[in-house]
């Protein structure tokens, strides 16, 4: 045990004492979840990102486990010269029991630590019909100061086949995957627009956009041919960042058009409620928890986003929820020119507008 | 972060040095004479430099100083743990240790007699029921019958921990503590849940000084001034009972006493708010408030957990503030609260064995844990101290 090698070991840098994990929010790596039917062009999209010369170092994780959320293989493009590097990412060594971070998160953090510079991570989800569990796992508490953060959920849909996919299970008890994937998406890539017949293409695409917005009016729809999109619109969305501005602007716009126009009650749709008077934050929390945790009014809420005008506060508060997980965070001061109000968007199934509006109004009363 | 250190000079040529000998780092030897400007200078100095390592090892043999204890002779065949317990190695693994503590070799697997009921990981190390159970998503409301079993099992777990507490003193190895826990559990007719849980090699966790949790009992002797946490879980009549306490070894310094007492109080305060209708999220707020007020930090990577017929299940209860934990407490739920509080930074790192979590800055960490039952009006501490429990804490009157 005492034998020293003939050759010295490699000398290490002095003052390498800061643990690599001490990264703050500004340098955390965004993780984008990519969903959609195989035929819609998911793989094409992934290949496009891996192969195009955008100067970014992007890792693509192929999740081939279906039900089980795990990490096996990571493909990283070297950015500058476009060379693809395939590596195995081991599942984290961390203890599985009683840990706050899911093993997938730990594996992604290890990946970030391993690489000198990683600009973004794409999580390609084969076989995962419902992105909600993945979102729950990746939407970490800010307090954890993780080196990874959930950036957005992107769904790739097929312009040629989407309507068929949406109608295919009409009347049956379960939804086609397309509904869930669109409902949870922050960005919808409407692919294969070139395959829609040219004569009617204007009308058809408009119709499709309406259908998509009917399900999820907050999603940003991008047309594409062979999934060739402007990466700046896809990466760094910060869709789960409470302080990020872009989402607020969309919500604060005066128009009421966020609620779905066509009301097929059996389908997934968007509903927007807005009220001008300031609300009591404690009451709002209880109200939201009854809906998300207790499934009050038998509503099934998938996502929820909103801005709140809070009693006795000059701060605009943002509200964000994915299934049962939610947070309400003071974001910034209301601007002088802004019309202060509450505006909340629900995306889900069996949404009851009257029930939501009336119960929310109860949060406004000064006396209980 | 650590205080700024003066620029070192190369041990060979005197130029400003940016590199150091990794063996000296590992042995925590002074940097003077061990800093070099290039790998070439280091290589050239190697044959004379390496004698420093030999001297360091020889000088600490048999003195029981914090540097390196002699563990080779009494423990023939004991090996270091690797890969979460799936592998062993005769040599201490390489790591940039955050403090002065090192792993020691561990003893061979303890036997469990045939008449003991085993959880499904006892044989092959892999829990099968637990990961796929609905109870990972829904918080169970226990039946009266289940609650009775939990009361009994938790009482046994308390008695086992008390037995371990009674043997704590300088010179005792953590392996001996593990032996006491193992034998007390078996004698009571239970199975020590940690044993082979995801390949964990021992029957309890012993976490010394900078170890936050999941320390593996080994050949290291406890030293005067150490603090040590012993974490016991017993599986009996189909349910688990889980608790842990941090103890003083001999005379500890003031900072350690304050750390341990504050941690105890964090748990106490958290328990005091448990009752139906309280959000799980609130536990972290209470703990964080008290720890921060005392100038200490809260570990964020590990959390409290539901417990019952499963060792770990819903809910997840973070101990830090501003968390998004889902749900409110309801009568009939059983879960643990187990805050880990650090003297320095909150961040943790993992040893090469795949289990031992240590503070990133090498400073000390303490923990306390109870298994709790939410009642109609409040809480019942299922693993509470008994009249027979030994007096281990100066701030408790009994």
Chain A interface mutation, best of B301, B303, B316, highest count of A Cβ atoms under 10 Å: B301
Alpha carbons A20 and A138: distance in angstroms, whole number: 20
Report B:187-226 residues touching A (Cβ under 8 A): 197-198, 214
How close, in Å, is residue B179 to chain A by CA atoms?
Answer: 23
pLDDT tens column, A7-38: 788 888 776 544 444 444 458 999 999 888 76
Alpha carbons A100 and A141: distance in angstroms, whole number: 10
- Lowest model confidence (mean pLDDT) among A80-84, A92-96, A265-269: A92-96
In Å, what is the CA distance from B124 to each residue of B68, B236, B310? 34, 19, 17
The b-or-e profile of A183-215 (16+ CB within 10 A means b, else e) is bbbbbbbbbbbeebeeeeeeebbeebbebbbbb
Chain A / chain B CB contacts < 8 angstroms: 115
What one-character-per-residue DSSP string does B14-67 give?
A: -SEE-EE-HHHHHTT--STTTEESSHHHHHHHHHHHTHHHHHHHHHHTTT--SS
- Greater confidence (A271 vs A60) lies with A271
Which parts of chain B sit beneath pLDDT 50? Answer: 1-5, 60-68, 70-73
The whole-number average pLDDT for the span A338-343 is 90
B134 labelled binding-site residue = no
Bridge-based pairing of strands B357-359 and B348-350 is antiparallel
Let me know the angle formed at the C-alpha of B170 by B169 and B172, rounded to the nearest 5 degrees: 75
Q: Hey, which bits of B274-319 come out as E strands? A: 297-298, 304-306, 313-317
Chain B partners of A19 at a C-beta cutoff of 8 Å? 347, 349, 360
The whole-number average pLDDT for the span A189-204 is 74
In chain B, what is the straight-line distance between the N-terminal and C-terminal CA atoms, in Å? 40
Alpha carbons B379 and A71: distance in angstroms, whole number: 40
Chain A partners of B21 at a C-beta cutoff of 8 Å? 8-9, 11-12
In the DSSP assignment, the letter for residue B286 is: H
Sign of the dihedral defined by the CA atoms of residues B23, A95, A324, B341, in that order: negative
B198 and A13 in contact by Cβ < 8 A? no
Three-state SS at B311: coil
The yes/no answer to whether this complex scores an ipTM above 0.85 is no
Which of B1, B57, B318 comes nearest A100 by C-beta? Answer: B318
For the record, the structure tokens of B21 come out as 């000998």
A12 and B20 in contact by Cβ < 8 A? yes
- Could you give the count of Cα atoms lying within 13 Å of A289 in the half-sphere of its Cβ? 18
Q: Please list the helix, strand and coil fractions of chain A in percent, rounded to the nearest 5, in that order.
A: 30, 25, 45
Let me know the angle formed at the C-alpha of B390 by B385 and B394, rounded to the nearest 5 degrees: 90
The whole-number average pLDDT for the span A128-132 is 77
Q: Does A13 touch chain B (CB under 8 A)?
A: yes
Do B210 and B362 touch, CB atoms closer than 8 A?
A: yes
B369 labelled binding-site residue = yes
Name the helix (H) or strand (E) containing B185: helix B174-187
pLDDT tens column, B283-309: 999 999 999 999 999 999 999 999 999
The DSSP bridge partners found for residue A34 are A124, A154
Q: Does B8 touch chain A (CB under 8 A)?
A: yes
Looking at residue B65, what is its pLDDT?
A: 36
Do A321 and A301 touch, CB atoms closer than 8 A?
A: yes
How close, in Å, is residue B250 to chain A by CA atoms?
Answer: 31
B347 and A22 in contact by Cβ < 8 A? yes
Q: Which domains does chain B have, with CATH numbers?
A: 2-69 (no CATH), 129-396 (3.90.230.10)
pTM listed for this prediction: 0.83
The whole-number average pLDDT for the span A255-273 is 70
Three-state SS at B1: coil
Helix B51-60 / helix B39-49 crossing angle, nearest 10 deg: 50
B338 labelled binding-site residue = yes
The whole-number average pLDDT for the span A322-329 is 94
pLDDT tens column, B60-99: 443 333 444 544 445 678 999 998 899 999 999 999 999 9
Q: What burial class does residue A248 get, using C-beta atoms within 10 Å of its C-beta: 0-12 exposed, 13-18 middle, 19+ buried? A: buried
């Amino acid at each position: 045990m005492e034998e020293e090698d003939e050759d010295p070991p490699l000398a290490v840098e002095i003052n390498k004492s800061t643990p690599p994990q001490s990264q703050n929010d500004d340098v955390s790596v965004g993780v984008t979840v990519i969903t959609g039917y195989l035929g819609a062009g998911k793989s094409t999209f992934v290949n496009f990102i891996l192969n195009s010369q955008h100067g970014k170092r992007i890792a693509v994780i192929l999740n081939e486990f279906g039900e089980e959320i795990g990490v096996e293989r990571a493909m990283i493009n070297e950015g500058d010269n476009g060379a693809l590097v395939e590596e195995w990412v081991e599942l984290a060594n961390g203890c599985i029991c009683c840990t706050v971070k899911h093993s997938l998160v730990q594996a992604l953090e290890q990946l970030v630590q391993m690489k000198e510079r990683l600009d973004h991570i794409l999580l390609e989800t084969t076989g995962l019909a419902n992105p909600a569990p993945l979102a729950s796992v990746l939407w970490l508490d800010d307090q954890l100061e993780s080196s990874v953060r959930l950036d957005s959920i992107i769904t790739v849909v097929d312009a040629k086949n989407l309507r068929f996919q949406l109608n295919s299970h009409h009347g049956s008890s379960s939804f086609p995957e397309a509904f869930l994937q669109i409902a949870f998406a922050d960005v919808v890539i409407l692919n294969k627009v070139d395959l829609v017949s040219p004569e009617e293409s204007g009308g058809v695409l408009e119709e499709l956009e309406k259908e998509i917005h009917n399900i999820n009016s907050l999603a940003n729809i991008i047309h594409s041919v062979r999934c060739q999109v402007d990466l700046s619109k896809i990466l760094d969305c910060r869709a789960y960042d409470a302080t990020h501005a872009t989402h607020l602007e969309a919500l604060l716009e005066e128009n009421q058009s966020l609620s779905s126009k066509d009301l097929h009650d059996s389908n997934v749709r968007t509903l927007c409620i807005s009220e001008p008077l300031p609300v009591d934050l404690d009451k709002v929390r209880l109200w939201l928890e009854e809906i998300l945790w207790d499934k009050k009014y038998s509503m099934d809420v998938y996502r929820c986003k909103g801005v709140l005008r809070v009693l006795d506060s000059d701060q605009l508060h943002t509200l964000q929820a994915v299934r049962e997980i939610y947070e309400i965070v003071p974001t910034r001061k209301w601007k002088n020119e802004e019309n202060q109000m509450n505006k909340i968007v629900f995306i889900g199934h069996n949404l009851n507008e009257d029930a939501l509006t009336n119960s929310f109004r109860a949060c406004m009363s000064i006396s209980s | 972060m650590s205080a700024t250190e003066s620029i070192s000079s190369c041990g060979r040529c005197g130029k400003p040095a940016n590199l150091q000998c990794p063996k000296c780092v590992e042995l925590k030897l002074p940097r003077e004479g061990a800093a070099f400007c290039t790998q070439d200078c280091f290589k050239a100095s190697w044959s004379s430099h390496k004698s420093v390592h030999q001297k360091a090892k020889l000088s600490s043999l048999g003195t029981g100083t914090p540097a390196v204890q002699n563990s080779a002779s009494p423990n023939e065949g004991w090996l270091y743990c690797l890969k979460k317990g799936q592998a062993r190695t005769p040599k201490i693994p390489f790591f940039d240790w955050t403090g002065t503590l090192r792993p020691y070799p561990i003893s061979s697997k303890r036997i469990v007699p045939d008449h003991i009921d085993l959880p499904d990981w006892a044989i092959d190390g892999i829990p099968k029921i637990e990961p796929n159970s609905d109870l990972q998503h829904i918080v169970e409301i226990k039946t009266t019958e289940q609650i009775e079993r939990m009361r009994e099992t938790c009482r046994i777990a308390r008695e086992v921990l008390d037995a371990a507490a009674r043997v704590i003193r300088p010179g005792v190895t953590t392996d001996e503590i593990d032996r006491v826990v193992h034998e007390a559990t078996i004698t009571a007719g239970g199975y020590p849940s940690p044993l082979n849980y995801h390949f964990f090699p021992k029957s309890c966790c012993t976490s010394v000084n900078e170890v936050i949790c999941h320390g593996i009992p080994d050949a290291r002797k406890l030293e005067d001034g150490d603090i040590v946490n012993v974490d016991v879980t017993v599986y009996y009549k189909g349910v688990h009972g889980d608790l842990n306490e941090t103890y003083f070894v001999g005379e500890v310094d003031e900072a350690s006493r304050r750390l341990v007492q504050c941690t105890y109080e964090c748990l106490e305060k958290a328990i005091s708010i448990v009752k139906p209708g309280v959000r799980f999220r609130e536990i972290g707020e209470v703990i964080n408030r008290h720890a921060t007020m005392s100038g200490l930090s809260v570990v964020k990577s590990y959390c409290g957990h539901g417990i019952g017929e499963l060792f770990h299940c819903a809910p997840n209860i973070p101990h830090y503030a501003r968390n998004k934990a889902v749900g409110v407490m309801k009568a009939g739920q059983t879960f643990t609260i187990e805050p880990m509080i650090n003297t320095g930074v909150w961040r943790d790192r993992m040893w090469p064995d795949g289990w031992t979590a240590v503070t990133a800055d090498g400073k000390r960490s303490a923990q306390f844990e109870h298994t709790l039952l939410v009642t109609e009006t409040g809480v019942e501490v299922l693993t509470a101290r008994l009249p027979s429990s030994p007096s281990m804490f100066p701030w408790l009157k009994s």
